[in-house]
């Protein structure tokens, strides 16, 4: 019997990583339906049914995508200094299971490519040993990718931690980045996190290629720098492929969400949407400042409110149903009921951003949220919290012209006056800055659609990959 050709995808933990990999699988199948997509899945960290429900839905609707479930491994999160350190160690412990899975799949199919998440770098030597072409999939953008390819050079030529440099970093193809704005886990070079991410930077050039969730015309400078070898001046840079924007499709549940019905009754482009992602938690005092700022701005708003963490800096889930009257200023909900809506914990973001009523987005600068806003042609106010979001803010505000910059105190706190100022700058019809951003984001939205259309840059790039994989 003739062997089938499979592409094996290995996402990291987290729904965002899983969904991005699934969308990559769908993109491949749309243009090469004869392939099978096999996704290696890790057990969820938290006892939630969302991942299981999502996987069941994909299995039922896209039968060419199958899931190979890896067994649970016992690991104590509390014994690690950070969630990143825990994640890297957990993924390292999975290496024997990854080896077994790839060998098992190889017995019944030809593995044309093994695509690993940025965090899954410890799997690269296994695939090389098994002679399987292995590609990295970067769920962030090309600027972030260029920085990580160049990280080994920064490490070679410096001795201080990023947090102590107090300087601008000059990475080929990337605008000058304040050293304090790099990827949060890299700030201290004495930590396990720094060592783990350095290992990613060292391994990237050893892959068969780097797939990035972006499109050519959004980030041409870092793409050019990487392809010319400027980001790895003393080594090899593998081919770089732009395969985005890859975004999750709108679901039936999203279409029926009550907040969309509320938006139906608002005038065009008058609502500012405020959301800090699935892991972005703010202190109670910060929530009150946002409320005051929104009230002062006079603009309509749709705000996703999540319960604050118990202690500053923790990324833990609060109660699933935040008590709005207790969290927000006295009388705020009643005073703003005619022009504002608070949604508890979650909103269907893609559907919200694509609604005619939405004219601005206060965002934590996560890359998925950034792409969703670009595709929906919604200007942004950049308010980073963690991970690479401070890095992304520099790009969005100073390089790409897609957002206004939310200024914050050294500890990250933002006052009500700043919230009011940036909402007005984004939403007021006579705001010159807002008008400039609306123009740029409109152009990039059209380019994003063109990239994913037949003959577009990302589709053509996928065609190059498919040619490689078909000849494997």
pLDDT tens digit sequence for 404-422 = 999 999 999 999 999 999 9
- Whose CA is closest to 75, among 40, 101, 43, 102? 43
Does 1 score more than 70 pLDDT? no
pLDDT, position 321: 62
Edge-to-edge strand list for the sheet holding 65-69: 65-69, 36-41, 4-10, 109-117, 134-138, 209-212, 240-242
Looking at the chain, the domain(s) classified CATH 3.40.50.2000 span: 5-248+453-471, 258-449
pLDDT, position 270: 98
Provide CATH code, domain 5-248+453-471: 3.40.50.2000
> CA 363: distance to chain centroid?
12
Helix (H, G, I), strand (E, B) or coil at 419: helix
pTM, rounded to two decimals: 0.95
Q: pLDDT class for 255, splitting at 50, 70, 90?
A: low
Q: What is the pLDDT of residues 183-214, one digit of tens each?
A: 999 999 999 999 999 999 999 999 999 999 99
Q: pLDDT class for 310, splitting at 50, 70, 90?
A: low
pLDDT, position 312: 43
pLDDT, position 429: 84
Q: What is the mean pLDDT of residues 384-391?
A: 94
CATH T-level fold of 258-449: Rossmann fold (3.40.50)
- Whose CA is closest to 412, among 283, 279, 293, 309? 283
CB atoms within 10 A of CB 326: 9
For the chain, give the mean pLDDT: 93
Helix (H, G, I), strand (E, B) or coil at 138: strand
């Amino acid at each position: 019997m003739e062997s089938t050709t499979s592409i094996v995808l290995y996402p990291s933990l987290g729904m965002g990583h899983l969904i991005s990999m699934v969308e990559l699988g769908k993109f491949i199948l749309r243009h090469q339906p004869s392939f099978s997509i096999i996704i290696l899945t890790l057990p969820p960290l938290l006892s939630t049914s969302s991942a299981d429900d999502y996987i069941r839905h994909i299995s039922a609707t896209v039968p060419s995508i199958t899931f190979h479930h890896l067994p649970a491994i016992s690991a104590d999160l509390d014994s690690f200094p950070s969630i990143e350190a825990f994640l890297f160690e957990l993924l390292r412990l999975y290496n024997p299971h990854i080896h077994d899975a790839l060998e098992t799949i190889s017995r019944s199919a030809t593995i044309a490519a093994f695509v690993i998440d940025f965090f899954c770098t410890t799997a690269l030597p296994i695939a090389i040993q098994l002679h399987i072409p292995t590609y990295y999939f970067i769920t962030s953008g090309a600027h972030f990718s260029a920085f990580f390819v160049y990280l080994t050079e920064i490490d070679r030529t410096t001795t201080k931690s990023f947090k102590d440099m107090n300087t601008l970093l000059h990475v080929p193809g990337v605008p000058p980045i304040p050293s304090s704005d790099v990827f949060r886990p890299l700030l201290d070079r004495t930590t396990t996190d720094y060592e783990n991410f350095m290992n990613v930077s060292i391994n990237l050039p050893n892959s068969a290629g780097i797939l990035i969730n972006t499109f050519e015309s959004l980030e041409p400078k870092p793409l050019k720098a990487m392809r010319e070898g400027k980001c790895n001046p003393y080594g090899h840079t593998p081919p770089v492929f732009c395969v985005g924007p890859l975004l999750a499709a709108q679901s039936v549940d999203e279409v029926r969400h009550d907040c969309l019905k509320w938006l139906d009754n608002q005038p065009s482009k008058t609502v500012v949407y405020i959301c800090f992602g699935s892991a972005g938690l703010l202190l109670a005092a910060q929530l009150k400042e946002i409320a005051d700022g929104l009230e002062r701005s006079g603009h309509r708003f749709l705000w996703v409110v999540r319960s604050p963490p118990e202690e500053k800096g923790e990324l833990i889930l609060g109660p699933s149903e935040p008590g709005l009257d207790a969290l927000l200023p006295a009388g705020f909900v009643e005073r703003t009921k005619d022009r504002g809506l608070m949604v508890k914990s979650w909103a269907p973001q893609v559907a919200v951003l694509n609604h005619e009523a939405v004219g601005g987005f206060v965002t934590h600068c996560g890359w998925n949220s950034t792409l969703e806003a670009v595709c929906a042609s919604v200007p942004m106010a950049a308010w980073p919290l963690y991970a690479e979001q401070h890095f992304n803010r520099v790009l969005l505000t100073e390089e790409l012209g897609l957002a206004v910059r939310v200024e914050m105190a050294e500890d990250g706190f933002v006052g009500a006056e700043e919230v009011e100022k940036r909402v007005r700058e984004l939403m007021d019809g006579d705001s010159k800055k807002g008008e400039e951003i609306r123009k740029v984001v409109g152009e990039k939205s059209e380019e994003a659609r063109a990239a994913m259309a037949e003959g577009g840059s990302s589709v053509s790039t996928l065609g190059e990959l498919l040619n490689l994989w078909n000849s494997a």
